[in-house]
Structure 1
Amino acid sequence: MRRLVELPLSKSFKMAFQSIRVRFFRSMVTTVSLVLAVSFFTFIQASNDTAEGLLSSNDQTVLLELVKAGYDITPESGSIESSAKQRWILFLSLLVCVVGIINAQLMSVTERFREIGTLKCLGALDRFIVRLFLIEAAMQGITGGLVGAFLGSCVALGSCLATFGGKAFFFIPWGQLLVTIAVATGTGTLLSLLGVLYPAFIAARMQPVEAMRVDQ
C-alpha cells in the first residue's frame, strides 16, 4: 500500500525546532563552526569594502596608509582586491566548515535511528525526512550566518578605525557593507544546507525495520 502521509509545513518547522532544542549542544557545534567561517568571510569582504571607501577619497596619504597596511591595490583600476593567499585561506575555512557540518549531521542521523524509523513506520514519506533535515539546517545556517556576519563586520570596522583613525568613518560604504552582510548570511545558510544534503538522503533511504532494530 502506498504511503500518503504528508504533514503540513508548519508541523515540519515545529518538529525541526524541537529537534534542535533536544540536541542543543550538537547544534551549537554546527552553528559555532558556521559563525567562525562566516565571520572570517565577512571580515575579509568588509575590510576590502572599507578600504575601497577610503581609496575613493583620493587622498595620497590614505593611499600610502592602505599600501602600508597590506592591501593589494590594482594599478589599472585603482581598486582593492583580495590576495591569492586570502582567497585560499577563505576557501579552506569554508571547506572545513562544510566537512564539519557533514560529520555532525551524520552523527545526528546515527542518534536518531529510532526516531526516523518511527516516523517512517507511521507513514512519513522520504521527502518529509529530507525536508525535516533541510529545515533544521536552514535554521542553524541563518542563525550562524547572521551572527557571523555581524561579528565579522564589527571586527572589520573596528580594525579600520583603529588603523586609519576617526576620519575613516566618513568614507565607510554602508550600503556595500549591508550587501556584504546579506551575502555572508546567505553563504552561511548555503554551507549549512550543503553539509546536510548527504546525511539527509541517508536518513531518507533508511528502511524502517532496520532503523527500529538499532540498539540505542
Structure 2
Amino acid sequence: MRQERNGLASMPTGRRKIARQVVLPFRISLAISIKSIRVRFLRSLVTVASLVLAVAFLSFILAGTEVAGGVLATGDARLRLALQDAGYDLPAVAPPPEQAAAEAARLGASPKERWIVLLSLLVCTVGIVNAQLMAVTERFREIGTMKCLGALDRFVLRLFLLEAGMQGLAGSFVGALCGMAGAVLVGLVRYGGVAVSGLTFAGMGRVLLVSMAVGAGLSLLGVVYPAVVAARMRPVEAMRAQE
C-alpha cells in the first residue's frame, strides 16, 4: 500500500486521473427532470404562464402581419383603407396590381409594436430568472444530497436546463397557438373571410417556429444563472439549509 501511495505521489499532476467515473445516461437525467416538474407542478405553471403570455403576444403580432399581408395582396382598395385604419403604414396611393404581392411581402409590424413585444419578452425573462432562483432555494437539500452522492456540476446544470427546455417548449407552443388564433379571429372581424383565404401554410408555420424558438430561447436564457448557482453550490452549504 505504501508503494502504491508513493507511486501515485511520484506521478506528475497531469497524469493523476480517476480510474473509473460513473456518469448517468441522458435518459436518467430526463426522467429526473420530468419527475421534478411533476412534483413542483404549480410552480412550473407560474413560470410557464408568464412565458405563454409573452409568446402569445409575439405570435399575435407576427400572425397579424401575415393576415394583413394576405389582405393587402388582394389589391382591394376597400381592404387597403381598412388596413390603414388598423394602423399599418401604407402609402396613400396603391401600387400597380402586379406590385401588390411585393408590397404585401414588405409589410411589417410598427415600431411601437416591436418595442412593446421587446419589453414583454424582457419582463418575461426577468420573471423566469426570479422563479428559477426561488426553485434553487427550495431545492437546497435535494441538490446537496445529489452532490453528496457524487453528482457532478454538469449533471446538476443539465437537470435545470432540461427542465427549462421542456417548460419553454410547452409554454411556447401553447402561447404561439393562442396568439395565432387570436390574430386570425381579429382578422375575420376586421376584414372578413379574406383574412383566412389569404393565409399561407408556410407563413403561419414560420410564425409558429419563430415564436417557439424565441420562447424556448428565453426559457433557457432565464435559467442559465440559477443553474450555474445550483451547480457550483457546495454540498455542505446545501445540506445546512433549513427546510
**How much does 1:64 deviate?**
1.1
Match of 1:153 in 2: 180
For 2:28 and 2:143, locate their aligned partners in 1 and report how far apart those are by CA, in whole Å: 16
Q: Say if 2:189 is the partner of 1:162.
A: yes
SS at match of 2:227: helix
Letter in 1 for 2:27: S
**How much does 1:74 deviate?**
6.5
Letter in 2 for 1:138: G
Aligned mate of 1:61, from 78, 81, 86: 78
SS at match of 2:120: helix
Return closer, same or farther for 1:50/1:91 CA change in 2, 3 Å cut-off: same
Match of 1:199 in 2: 226
**How much does 1:168 deviate?**
2.4
Match of 2:60 in 1: 43
CA offsets 1:135-160 (integer angstroms, 9 cap, x no match): 00001000000000000000000000
**How much does 1:73 deviate?**
3.0
For 2:33 and 2:143, locate their aligned partners in 1 and report how far apart those are by CA, in whole Å: 13
Match of 2:131 in 1: 104
SS at match of 1:72: coil
**How much does 1:71 deviate?**
1.6
Check the 8 A contact 1:39/1:148 in 2, yes or no. Answer: yes
Q: Say if 2:30 is the partner of 1:13.
A: yes
Match of 2:157 in 1: 130
**How much does 1:166 deviate?**
1.5
Match of 2:6 in 1: none
CA offsets 1:13-52 (integer angstroms, 9 cap, x no match): 1000110111111100000001000000000000001101
| Of 154-163 and 69-78, the range deviating more from structure 2 | 69-78
Return closer, same or farther for 1:74/1:34 CA change in 2, 3 Å cut-off: farther
| Of 146-155 and 159-168, the range deviating more from structure 2 | 159-168
Aligned mate of 2:171, from 116, 121, 144: 144
For 1:196 and 1:181, locate their aligned partners in 2 and report how far apart those are by CA, in whole Å: 23
Larger-gyration structure (1/2) = 2
Q: Say if 2:39 is the partner of 1:22.
A: yes
| Of 24-33 and 65-74, the range deviating more from structure 2 | 65-74
Q: Say if 2:116 is the partner of 1:116.
A: no
Match of 1:87 in 2: 114
Letter in 1 for 2:61: I
TM-score between the two structures when normalised by the length of structure 1: 0.95
TM-score between the two structures when normalised by the length of structure 2: 0.85
| Of 70-79 and 125-134, the range deviating more from structure 2 | 70-79
SS at match of 1:172: coil
Gaps of 5+ in 2: 1-16, 96-101
**How much does 1:195 deviate?**
0.4
Check the 8 A contact 1:138/1:193 in 2, yes or no. Answer: yes
Return closer, same or farther for 1:74/1:206 CA change in 2, 3 Å cut-off: farther
SS at match of 2:87: coil
Letter in 1 for 2:54: A
For 2:194 and 2:140, locate their aligned partners in 1 and report how far apart those are by CA, in whole Å: 58
| Of 130-139 and 74-83, the range deviating more from structure 2 | 74-83
For 2:149 and 2:125, locate their aligned partners in 1 and report how far apart those are by CA, in whole Å: 32
